[in-house]
Amino acid sequence: MAKTNTVIKAEVRTKAGKGSSRAIRRDGRIPAVIYGAKKEVTKITVSLIDIRKLLDTGHFLSSTYDIEVEGKKQLVLPRDVQFHPVSDWPLHVDFLRLAQDAMIAINVPVHFINDEECPGLRKGGIINAVRHDIELYCPANAIPESIIIDLTGLEMGDSVHISSINLPEGVTPVIDDRDFTIATIAAPSGLKSDEADEDDDEEQSVEVEAISQKSEE
């Protein structure tokens, strides 16, 4: 089944400048622009409440949307959000206009599942996430919401590489010249310290033994 994009209702704005932007925000809306696809920039306003709700999903910048302006929908990808330095409320949004068959590079978040089925974690290990997201080439109309990493069966010291991930059809990693690491099951720092102390004790024992043997000679 094809993915149905969330629709963002927008209105065309005819004025620009700080004064106009302040007036727009007083009305509960924020200024935005739609650019790209070799077309003119479209200046719009969108609902502040709608944008805040989409930002709260955590994947606003990695999802496509249909912006509806004057009854017509355009496929877009949010590319930048400007925030107020104090309140952290969104002040302005840039949307990239997309063709249905466009390929784009985008960072997709990594999610881990089946922690309880991971022997390494049960023994006290921790997930060392080398990459919290992965930059992928994706069809504009088929961007995965996340990359799922199954931890089932992983032991302490095991690593997860990009080659072990089944990516959706048509999706490829931007980095294609090496099998990069996404995460490892690492020993906690306390355990590493204990192991290091044990190694030091063994080395000291060997040195003492060697000195004793030399003295006897």
Per-domain boundaries in the chain: 6-98, 104-192
Domain 104-192 has CATH 3.30.1490.20: no
Residues 6+ apart with CB under 8 A from 134: 107, 108, 110, 147, 162, 173, 182
Q: How many angstroms separate the CA atoms of 121 and 128, rounded?
A: 11
Taking the model in full, what pTM does it have?
0.70
CA-closest candidate to residue 140, choices 57, 81, 78: 78
Write out the chain's pLDDT in tens, 217 residues. 346 789 999 999 988 788 889 999 999 999 999 999 888 999 999 999 999 999 998 889 988 999 999 999 999 999 999 999 999 999 999 999 998 778 999 999 999 999 999 999 999 999 999 999 999 999 988 888 899 999 999 999 999 999 999 999 999 999 999 999 999 999 987 555 455 455 555 555 445 454 445 455 5
- The answer to whether 158 and 185 have CB atoms below 8 angstroms apart is yes
Q: b/e for 163-189, b at 16 or more Cβ within 10 A?
A: eebebeeebebeeeeeeeebbbbbbee
For residue 165, the 8-state DSSP code is: S
- The answer to whether 202 and 177 have CB atoms below 8 angstroms apart is no
Residues 6+ apart with CB under 8 A from 33: 41, 42, 43, 44, 93, 94, 95
Neighbours of 153 (CB within 10 A): 11
| Domain with residues 6-98, CATH architecture | Beta Barrel (2.40)
Length of the chain in terms of residues written:
217
